[in-house]
């Protein structure tokens, strides 16, 4: 799950980020990043260009420049799934907020239990919409839940998916590992090497040239070509899990 805070007052931005961190300490959620913006324009530019993903958006309505409500209208033109939570000091936009499918309307100062509820809802929604892959294994179509894949390995003409329960699913793939990468990218998977794709939620340790994955006996190399992007994502993921 990727969380974005769009708030132009530093005090409330920091307060909300701290409350999100407090929620993460008591939850087992797959939160990949928490990113802050001070303007709707900056967020929309990054989101529309694909530079940032957002599953849960905390949006101040009274932003300078483009208002949070106007930004939500733009978002809903192409995305009905993003969870939008309006954060504001006024109830003026209460009815209009729900017209753009806002999940909640929180008045400042936001309470910890309200943030907890928003994250719990987002985690539940993500769990209800688990993505899956169908692969041909020995002539049988097998359903693989993407969240249960720890990493994917290319071995010759075969693809091997290493699963959370310790099992492996090995199958012949007609395309390249890049095709598998494209299918898994929307779930947060990263290509870290010409032969490996990893699921960041299972990373238990890393350095500049390798990652350690949960319950896996080997280290996965980080190729030079992929190093910058992989380390940026892992650093962001790590920071999102730390208390502020």
In this prediction, residues 137-151 reach a mean pLDDT of 84
Where does a domain end: 103, 128, 153? 128
Last residue of a domain, one of 87, 104, 128: 128
Read off the pTM: 0.54
CATH of the domain at 20: 3.40.50.2300
Residues 217-236: pLDDT tens digits? 889 999 999 999 899 888 87
CA distances from 115 to 2, 106, 111, 118 (A): 15, 9, 7, 5
* Per-residue pLDDT band at 138 (split at 50, 70, 90): confident
Mean pLDDT of the chain: 85
Query: What CA dihedral angle connects 116, 120, 126 and 127, to 10 degrees?
Result: 150
Phi and psi (nearest 5°) for 85?
Answer: -120, 115
Per-residue pLDDT, 60:
93
Q: Are residues 66 and 180 in the same domain?
A: no
CB atoms within 10 A of CB 224: 10
Predicted local distance difference test score (pLDDT) of residue 184: 87
Structure tokens at 131: 């993505």
Question: Could you tell me the CATH number of the domain that includes residue 215?
Answer: 2.40.50.1020
Predicted pLDDT of residue 244:
45
CB atoms within 10 A of CB 152: 24
Rounded CA-CA distance 203/201 in Å is 6
Pair (57, 100) in one structural domain: yes
pLDDT above 60 (res 241) = no
* Residue 125 confidence class, pLDDT cut points 50, 70, 90: confident
User: Which whole number is the average pLDDT over 50-63?
Assistant: 91
Structural contact between residues 240 and 36, judged by C-beta atoms closer than 8 angstroms: no
Show which of 96, 128, 160 is a domain's final residue: 128
User: Which two three-digit tokens encode residue 129?
Assistant: 């919409």
CB atoms inside a 10 Å sphere around CB 207: 10
Distances (CA, A) of 238 to 18, 71, 94, 163, 200: 15, 29, 35, 22, 10
- Helices of type H across the chain: 10-25, 40-48, 68-76, 94-99, 112-128, 177-184, 227-241
Q: Is 67 helix (H, G, I), strand (E, B) or coil?
A: coil
Find the domain containing 187 and state its range: 132-241
**Shared domain check, 154 and 110:** no
Which positions ≥6 away from 47 have C-beta within 8 Å? 4, 53, 54, 75
Q: Model confidence at 133, in pLDDT bands (50, 70, 90)?
A: confident
What is the per-residue pLDDT for 176?
81
Whether residues 149 and 118 share a domain: the answer is: no
Q: Give the pLDDT score at 101.
A: 82
pLDDT in tens, 59-103: 998 888 888 889 999 999 989 889 999 998 876 655 555 668 888
């Amino acid at each position: 799950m990727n969380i974005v805070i769009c708030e132009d007052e530093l005090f409330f931005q920091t307060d909300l980020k701290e409350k999100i961190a407090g929620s993460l300490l008591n939850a087992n959620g797959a939160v990949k990043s928490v990113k802050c913006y001070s303007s709707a324009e900056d967020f929309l530019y990054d989101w529309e260009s694909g530079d940032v993903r957002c599953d849960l958006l905390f949006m101040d309505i009274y932003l300078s420049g483009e208002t949070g409500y106007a930004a939500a209208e733009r978002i809903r033109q192409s995305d009905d799934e993003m969870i939008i939570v309006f954060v504001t000091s006024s109830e003026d936009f209460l009815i209009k907020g729900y017209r753009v499918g806002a999940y909640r309307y929180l008045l400042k100062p936001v309470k910890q239990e309200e943030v907890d509820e928003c994250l719990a809802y987002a985690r539940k929604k993500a769990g209800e919409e688990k993505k899956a892959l169908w692969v041909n294994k020995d002539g049988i179509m097998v359903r693989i839940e993407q969240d249960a894949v720890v990493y994917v390995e290319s071995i010759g003409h075969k693809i091997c998916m290493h699963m959370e329960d310790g099992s492996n699913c090995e199958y012949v793939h007609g395309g390249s590992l890049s095709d598998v990468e494209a299918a898994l990218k929307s779930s947060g998977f990263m290509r870290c090497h010409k032969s490996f794709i990893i699921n960041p939620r299972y990373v238990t340790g890393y350095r500049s040239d390798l990652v350690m994955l949960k319950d896996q006996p080997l280290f996965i190399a980080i190729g030079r070509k992929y190093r910058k992007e992989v380390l940026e994502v892992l650093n962001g993921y790590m920071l999102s899990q730390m208390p502020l």
